[in-house]
Protein backbone atom coordinates (compact mmCIF):
# COMPACT_ATOMS: atom_id res chain seq x y z
CA UNK A 1 0.00 0.00 0.00
CA UNK A 2 1.24 3.51 -0.77
CA UNK A 3 0.84 6.37 1.69
CA UNK A 4 1.29 10.06 0.89
CA UNK A 5 2.11 12.12 3.99
CA UNK A 6 1.40 15.81 3.39
CA UNK A 7 2.42 18.57 5.80
CA UNK A 8 2.30 18.30 9.57
CA UNK A 9 4.76 18.41 12.43
CA UNK A 10 7.13 15.83 13.92
CA UNK A 11 4.18 13.46 14.42
CA UNK A 12 3.75 12.96 10.68
CA UNK A 13 7.49 12.58 10.21
CA UNK A 14 7.47 9.72 12.74
CA UNK A 15 4.29 8.33 11.14
CA UNK A 16 6.04 8.18 7.76
CA UNK A 17 8.82 6.15 9.37
CA UNK A 18 6.39 3.79 11.07
CA UNK A 19 4.48 3.11 7.85
CA UNK A 20 7.72 2.57 5.92
CA UNK A 21 9.02 0.12 8.54
CA UNK A 22 5.75 -1.80 8.22
CA UNK A 23 6.55 -2.40 4.57
CA UNK A 24 4.43 0.30 2.93
CA UNK A 25 5.60 2.67 0.23
CA UNK A 26 5.70 6.22 1.58
CA UNK A 27 6.18 9.61 -0.05
CA UNK A 28 6.09 12.98 1.71
CA UNK A 29 5.45 16.59 0.79
CA UNK A 30 5.72 19.83 2.82
CA UNK A 31 7.95 18.01 5.32
CA UNK A 32 11.28 19.14 3.88
CA UNK A 33 12.74 20.15 7.26
CA UNK A 34 11.77 16.86 8.90
CA UNK A 35 14.26 14.10 9.68
CA UNK A 36 13.15 11.04 7.71
CA UNK A 37 14.71 7.71 6.78
CA UNK A 38 16.77 8.17 3.60
CA UNK A 39 14.54 5.70 1.80
CA UNK A 40 11.46 7.95 2.14
CA UNK A 41 11.35 10.47 -0.73
CA UNK A 42 10.43 14.11 -0.29
CA UNK A 43 8.42 15.02 -3.36
CA UNK A 44 8.99 18.33 -5.12
CA UNK A 45 5.28 18.95 -5.72
CA UNK A 46 1.97 17.88 -4.23
CA UNK A 47 0.92 16.07 -7.41
CA UNK A 48 4.07 13.97 -7.41
CA UNK A 49 3.54 13.03 -3.78
CA UNK A 50 -0.08 11.90 -4.01
CA UNK A 51 0.08 10.22 -7.45
CA UNK A 52 -0.73 6.53 -7.10
CA UNK A 53 -1.24 6.75 -3.33
CA UNK A 54 -3.91 4.58 -1.76
CA UNK A 55 -4.04 6.80 1.34
CA UNK A 56 -3.25 10.47 1.85
CA UNK A 57 -2.58 11.62 5.42
CA UNK A 58 -2.97 15.27 6.44
CA UNK A 59 -1.99 16.76 9.82
CA UNK A 60 -4.02 17.10 13.02
CA UNK A 61 -5.35 19.74 12.80
CA UNK A 62 -5.29 19.61 9.02
CA UNK A 63 -5.59 23.32 8.42
CA UNK A 64 -5.06 26.67 10.06
CA UNK A 65 -6.97 29.59 8.63
CA UNK A 66 -7.65 27.64 5.46
CA UNK A 67 -3.98 26.76 4.92
CA UNK A 68 -2.40 23.35 5.31
CA UNK A 69 -0.71 22.97 8.71
CA UNK A 70 2.93 22.56 7.70
CA UNK A 71 5.33 23.96 10.32
CA UNK A 72 8.23 21.93 8.88
CA UNK A 73 7.85 23.40 5.41
CA UNK A 74 8.33 26.71 3.62
CA UNK A 75 5.27 25.99 1.50
CA UNK A 76 2.02 27.88 2.10
CA UNK A 77 -0.65 25.74 0.52
CA UNK A 78 -4.36 26.22 0.89
CA UNK A 79 -5.89 23.02 2.25
CA UNK A 80 -8.41 22.91 -0.60
CA UNK A 81 -5.53 23.08 -3.08
CA UNK A 82 -4.17 19.89 -1.56
CA UNK A 83 -7.55 18.17 -1.81
CA UNK A 84 -8.02 19.27 -5.42
CA UNK A 85 -4.79 17.41 -6.27
CA UNK A 86 -6.18 14.07 -5.11
CA UNK A 87 -7.77 11.33 -7.17
CA UNK A 88 -11.17 9.69 -6.99
CA UNK A 89 -11.10 6.61 -4.76
CA UNK A 90 -8.18 7.71 -2.61
CA UNK A 91 -8.57 7.51 1.16
CA UNK A 92 -8.04 10.83 2.97
CA UNK A 93 -7.04 10.89 6.65
CA UNK A 94 -6.58 13.93 8.84
CA UNK A 95 -7.66 15.60 12.04
CA UNK A 96 -10.22 18.36 12.58
CA UNK A 97 -11.08 18.45 8.91
CA UNK A 98 -13.22 21.49 8.23
CA UNK A 99 -16.68 21.13 6.74
CA UNK A 100 -15.65 22.91 3.53
CA UNK A 101 -12.62 20.65 3.14
CA UNK A 102 -14.67 17.49 3.74
CA UNK A 103 -17.36 18.56 1.29
CA UNK A 104 -14.77 19.28 -1.38
CA UNK A 105 -13.15 15.88 -0.79
CA UNK A 106 -16.44 14.02 -0.97
CA UNK A 107 -17.40 15.80 -4.19
CA UNK A 108 -14.17 14.50 -5.71
CA UNK A 109 -15.08 10.95 -4.79
CA UNK A 110 -12.62 10.60 -1.93
CA UNK A 111 -13.20 8.48 1.17
CA UNK A 112 -12.73 10.77 4.18
CA UNK A 113 -11.77 9.81 7.75
CA UNK A 114 -11.44 12.50 10.42
CA UNK A 115 -9.27 10.78 13.03
CA UNK A 116 -10.38 13.11 15.83
CA UNK A 117 -13.91 11.72 15.47
CA UNK A 118 -12.72 8.17 16.13
CA UNK A 119 -13.09 6.98 19.72
CA UNK A 120 -9.82 5.01 19.68
CA UNK A 121 -7.74 7.93 18.44
CA UNK A 122 -9.46 10.53 20.63
CA UNK A 123 -9.00 8.51 23.83
CA UNK A 124 -5.32 7.70 23.29
CA UNK A 125 -4.51 11.17 22.00
CA UNK A 126 -6.13 12.61 25.13
CA UNK A 127 -3.74 10.54 27.25
CA UNK A 128 -0.74 12.02 25.43
CA UNK A 129 -2.21 15.52 25.76
CA UNK A 130 -2.85 15.14 29.49
CA UNK A 131 0.72 14.02 30.15
CA UNK A 132 2.04 16.82 27.95
CA UNK A 133 -0.04 19.36 29.88
CA UNK A 134 1.55 18.26 33.14
CA UNK A 135 4.96 18.58 31.52
CA UNK A 136 4.12 22.13 30.43
CA UNK A 137 3.00 23.09 33.93
CA UNK A 138 6.06 21.60 35.62
CA UNK A 139 8.46 23.22 33.15
CA UNK A 140 7.03 26.70 33.64
CA UNK A 141 6.80 27.10 37.40
CA UNK A 142 9.00 27.28 40.46
CA UNK A 143 6.36 25.40 42.44
CA UNK A 144 5.53 21.72 42.68
CA UNK A 145 2.20 20.38 41.54
CA UNK A 146 2.12 18.59 44.88
CA UNK A 147 0.06 20.74 47.28
CA UNK A 148 -0.74 23.25 44.52
CA UNK A 149 -4.31 24.18 43.72
CA UNK A 150 -5.29 23.50 40.13
CA UNK A 151 -8.49 24.52 38.37
CA UNK A 152 -9.45 22.29 35.43
CA UNK A 153 -12.16 23.78 33.24
CA UNK A 154 -14.28 21.18 31.48
CA UNK A 155 -14.88 17.46 31.87
CA UNK A 156 -14.10 15.92 28.50
CA UNK A 157 -11.56 13.19 27.79
CA UNK A 158 -8.52 15.37 28.34
CA UNK A 159 -9.89 17.00 31.49
CA UNK A 160 -10.75 13.63 33.06
CA UNK A 161 -7.33 12.11 32.42
CA UNK A 162 -5.54 15.30 33.46
CA UNK A 163 -7.52 15.45 36.72
CA UNK A 164 -6.61 11.88 37.63
CA UNK A 165 -2.92 12.47 36.90
CA UNK A 166 -2.86 15.71 38.89
CA UNK A 167 -4.52 14.02 41.85
CA UNK A 168 -1.92 11.25 41.65
CA UNK A 169 0.80 13.89 41.96
CA UNK A 170 -0.74 15.29 45.10
CA UNK A 171 -2.36 18.40 43.61
CA UNK A 172 -5.59 19.82 44.99
CA UNK A 173 -7.83 19.81 41.92
CA UNK A 174 -11.12 21.59 41.35
CA UNK A 175 -13.13 20.81 38.22
CA UNK A 176 -15.40 23.50 36.81
CA UNK A 177 -18.13 21.91 34.70
CA UNK A 178 -21.56 22.89 33.42
CA UNK A 179 -23.26 19.52 33.87
CA UNK A 180 -24.23 18.35 37.34
CA UNK A 181 -23.34 14.72 36.54
CA UNK A 182 -19.84 15.80 35.52
CA UNK A 183 -19.35 17.63 38.82
CA UNK A 184 -20.53 14.59 40.76
CA UNK A 185 -18.14 12.31 38.86
CA UNK A 186 -15.27 14.71 39.53
CA UNK A 187 -15.99 14.58 43.25
CA UNK A 188 -16.22 10.79 43.08
CA UNK A 189 -12.61 10.54 41.83
CA UNK A 190 -11.35 12.82 44.59
CA UNK A 191 -11.50 16.32 43.13
CA UNK A 192 -13.51 19.33 44.19
CA UNK A 193 -16.03 20.67 41.70
CA UNK A 194 -18.04 23.77 40.96
CA UNK A 195 -20.29 25.29 38.35
CA UNK A 196 -18.85 28.04 36.15
CA UNK A 197 -21.20 30.49 37.86
CA UNK A 198 -19.38 29.83 41.15
CA UNK A 199 -15.88 30.54 39.86
CA UNK A 200 -15.70 34.22 40.74
CA UNK A 201 -15.57 33.53 44.47
CA UNK A 202 -12.84 30.85 44.24
CA UNK A 203 -10.70 31.56 41.16
CA UNK A 204 -8.22 33.64 43.15
CA UNK A 205 -7.17 30.58 45.15
CA UNK A 206 -5.62 28.63 42.25
CA UNK A 207 -1.94 28.35 41.36
CA UNK A 208 -2.73 26.85 37.95
CA UNK A 209 -5.73 27.20 35.66
CA UNK A 210 -6.09 24.74 32.77
CA UNK A 211 -8.80 25.20 30.18
CA UNK A 212 -10.08 22.39 27.94
CA UNK A 213 -13.33 24.07 26.80
CA UNK A 214 -13.38 25.58 23.26
CA UNK A 215 -15.62 28.45 24.37
CA UNK A 216 -15.07 31.67 26.33
CA UNK A 217 -15.93 30.43 29.82
CA UNK A 218 -13.44 32.68 31.67
CA UNK A 219 -14.65 36.22 31.08
CA UNK A 220 -12.76 39.45 31.79
CA UNK A 221 -14.03 39.70 35.36
CA UNK A 222 -12.85 36.17 36.16
CA UNK A 223 -9.40 36.83 34.70
CA UNK A 224 -9.07 39.96 36.81
CA UNK A 225 -10.02 37.95 39.89
CA UNK A 226 -7.32 35.29 39.32
CA UNK A 227 -4.24 35.24 41.53
CA UNK A 228 -1.44 37.52 40.33
CA UNK A 229 1.02 34.62 40.03
CA UNK A 230 -1.44 32.13 38.51
CA UNK A 231 -0.28 30.20 35.44
CA UNK A 232 -2.93 29.69 32.74
CA UNK A 233 -2.66 26.82 30.26
CA UNK A 234 -4.89 26.81 27.18
CA UNK A 235 -5.50 23.32 25.75
CA UNK A 236 -8.72 24.01 23.84
CA UNK A 237 -9.01 24.81 20.17
CA UNK A 238 -10.12 28.25 18.98
CA UNK A 239 -11.61 30.42 20.31
CA UNK A 240 -10.25 29.06 23.59
CA UNK A 241 -11.57 29.59 27.07
CA UNK A 242 -10.27 33.12 27.72
CA UNK A 243 -8.91 36.23 26.04
CA UNK A 244 -5.15 35.67 26.01
CA UNK A 245 -4.23 39.28 25.27
CA UNK A 246 -6.22 40.56 28.23
CA UNK A 247 -4.75 37.91 30.52
CA UNK A 248 -1.23 38.92 29.54
CA UNK A 249 -2.00 42.64 29.79
CA UNK A 250 -3.10 42.27 33.41
CA UNK A 251 0.11 40.41 34.22
CA UNK A 252 -1.00 36.78 34.16
CA UNK A 253 1.32 34.13 32.75
CA UNK A 254 -0.26 32.32 29.82
CA UNK A 255 0.78 29.15 27.99
CA UNK A 256 -0.94 28.19 24.76
CA UNK A 257 -0.40 24.58 23.73
CA UNK A 258 -1.95 23.83 20.33
CA UNK A 259 -0.78 20.52 18.88
CA UNK A 260 0.63 19.50 22.24
CA UNK A 261 1.00 15.77 21.40
CA UNK A 262 3.14 16.65 18.40
CA UNK A 263 5.42 18.85 20.49
CA UNK A 264 5.57 16.84 23.71
CA UNK A 265 5.69 13.24 22.49
CA UNK A 266 5.63 13.10 18.68
CA UNK A 267 6.77 9.47 18.49
CA UNK A 268 3.99 8.21 20.77
CA UNK A 269 1.46 10.51 19.09
CA UNK A 270 2.48 9.03 15.72
CA UNK A 271 1.96 5.50 17.06
CA UNK A 272 -1.55 6.47 18.18
CA UNK A 273 -2.27 7.92 14.73
CA UNK A 274 -0.88 4.84 12.99
CA UNK A 275 -3.04 2.49 15.08
CA UNK A 276 -6.15 4.52 14.25
CA UNK A 277 -5.37 4.52 10.51
CA UNK A 278 -4.82 0.76 10.47
CA UNK A 279 -8.06 0.22 12.42
CA UNK A 280 -10.00 2.38 9.95
CA UNK A 281 -8.58 0.47 7.00
CA UNK A 282 -9.49 -2.88 8.59
CA UNK A 283 -13.04 -1.65 9.21
CA UNK A 284 -13.36 -0.72 5.56
CA UNK A 285 -12.33 -4.21 4.49
With contact defined as beta carbons under 8 Å apart, do 95 and 114 qualify? yes
Q: What are phi and psi of 60, to 5 degrees?
A: -130, 110
Give 64 or 120, the one with higher predicted confidence: 120
Question: What does the alpha-carbon distance between residue 55 and residue 4 come to, in Å, rounded to a whole number?
Answer: 6
In tens, the pLDDT along 56-84 reads 999 999 998 899 999 999 989 999 999 99
Based on the domain organization, do 156 and 242 belong to the same domain? Answer: yes
Q: Once rounded to an integer, what is the mean pLDDT over residues 125-152?
A: 97
Q: With cut-offs at 50, 70 and 90, classify the pLDDT of residue 208.
A: very high
Q: Once rounded to an integer, what is the mean pLDDT over residues 163-185?
A: 98
Q: Is the pLDDT of residue 258 over 80?
A: no
pLDDT at position 117 is 95
Q: Is the pLDDT of residue 285 over 80?
A: no
In tens, the pLDDT along 11-38 reads 999 999 999 999 999 999 999 999 999 9
* 63, part of any domain: yes
Q: Is the pLDDT of residue 86 over 80?
A: yes
**Across the chain, what does the average pLDDT equal?**
96
Pairing of strands 231-234, 253-256: parallel
pLDDT at position 129 is 96
* 267, part of any domain: no
Q: Once rounded to an integer, what is the mean pLDDT over residues 87-94?
A: 96
The DSSP letter of residue 78 is: B
Q: Is the pLDDT of residue 2 over 80?
A: yes
pLDDT at position 37 is 94
* 207, part of any domain: yes
* 85, part of any domain: yes
- Show which of 100, 117, 134 is a domain's final residue: 117
pLDDT at position 154 is 98
The reported pTM is: 0.91
CA angle 108, 113, 117 (to 5 degrees): 140
Q: Is the peptide bond before 229 cis (omega within 30 degrees of 0)?
A: no
Q: Is the peptide bond before 239 cis (omega within 30 degrees of 0)?
A: yes
Q: Once rounded to an integer, what is the mean pLDDT over residues 2-6?
A: 98
* 272, part of any domain: no
Q: Once rounded to an integer, what is the mean pLDDT over residues 233-241?
A: 92
* Collapsed DSSP state (helix, strand, coil) of residue 277: helix
Q: Once rounded to an integer, what is the mean pLDDT over residues 122-147?
A: 96
Q: Is the pLDDT of residue 259 over 90?
A: no
Based on the domain organization, do 246 and 220 belong to the same domain? Answer: yes
Q: What's the structural domain count of the chain?
A: 2
Based on the domain organization, do 126 and 258 belong to the same domain? Answer: yes
pLDDT at position 42 is 96
Q: Is the pLDDT of residue 108 over 90?
A: yes
Based on the domain organization, do 130 and 188 belong to the same domain? Answer: yes
Which domain does 107 fall in, by range?
2-117
Q: 173: which strand partners?
A: 150
Question: What does the alpha-carbon distance between residue 144 and residue 138 come to, in Å, rounded to a whole number?
Answer: 7
Question: What does the alpha-carbon distance between residue 99 and residue 69 come to, in Å, rounded to a whole number?
Answer: 16
How many angstroms separate the most distant Cα atoms in the chain? 60
pLDDT at position 284 is 82
Q: For 86-119, give the DSSP string.
A: --TT-EEEESS--HHHHHHHHHTT-EEEEGGGSH
Amino acid sequence: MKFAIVGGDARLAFLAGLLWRDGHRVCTYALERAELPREIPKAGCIQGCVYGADCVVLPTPAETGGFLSAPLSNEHLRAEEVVSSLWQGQRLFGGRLGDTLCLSALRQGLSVEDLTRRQDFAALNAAVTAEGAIGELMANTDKTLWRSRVLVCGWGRIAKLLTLRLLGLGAEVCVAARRADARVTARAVGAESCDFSELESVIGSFDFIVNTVPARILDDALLCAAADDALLLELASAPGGFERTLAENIGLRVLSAPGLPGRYAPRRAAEVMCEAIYAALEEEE
